[in-house]
Structure 1
Amino acid sequence: MDFNSRKKKKKNNDLYEENINIYLEENDNYILDLEKKVQSLKLIGSNLRDEVRTSNSLLDNLSDRMENVNKKLSGVYRRVKNILRTKVMKICNGKYETFIYVYSH
């Protein structure tokens, strides 16, 4: 092997090494960019989890309140129904011949 062919081979190796270094640097940059995106997605996922937990808590509280309102309204409905029955009985036993229809569930 003569001097020129060795020099050419060395030059080819240098180009190869240089290209490898460029590709490695590009890969490192892609990896860093990917890490940033993964961290962003992780933060978004964490925020979503917190929002879901907060929403579930609020919905549970709302459900409990609605249940209490339903119980209270059922009691009020029952009382109104009893009052109307009493009024109907008084009207039927008195002078008035009036029929009142009371709707029941």
Structure 2
Amino acid sequence: MPSIGYSVKQKLSENTCQLHGDILQQLGDIPWIDHTRVGVMGFRFGANIAVRLAYLYPKLIKGVVALGPLIHAFFTQAELQKKIPIMYLDVLASRLGLLNIDEKQSQTIVK
């Protein structure tokens, strides 16, 4: 999911969980996987995506764990948005594809 580890280049959008949904639909074809007992887990932005995935595929997902998800209030209340660290805004902008700084530019900014 976007925002953690090697997912830096994955753009966050309303279709972010499409690949995961496609995988879920194929699990029944893999004999060593019990596709009737699948759960998903997400962290931060990934938590929101995990919940959306469970909403879109309720017959395929039996449980969801959401660790530190962004909640509705964050997206709708300007006062909450003003209180979050700038680094978190950078992560959000990056995942939405609003801010893309290449490695060369980031080294210039840090100096």
TM range (shorter): under 0.3
What TM-score comes out, normalization by structure 2 length?
Answer: 0.22
Is the strand fraction higher in 1 or 2? Answer: 2
What TM-score comes out, normalization by structure 1 length?
Answer: 0.23
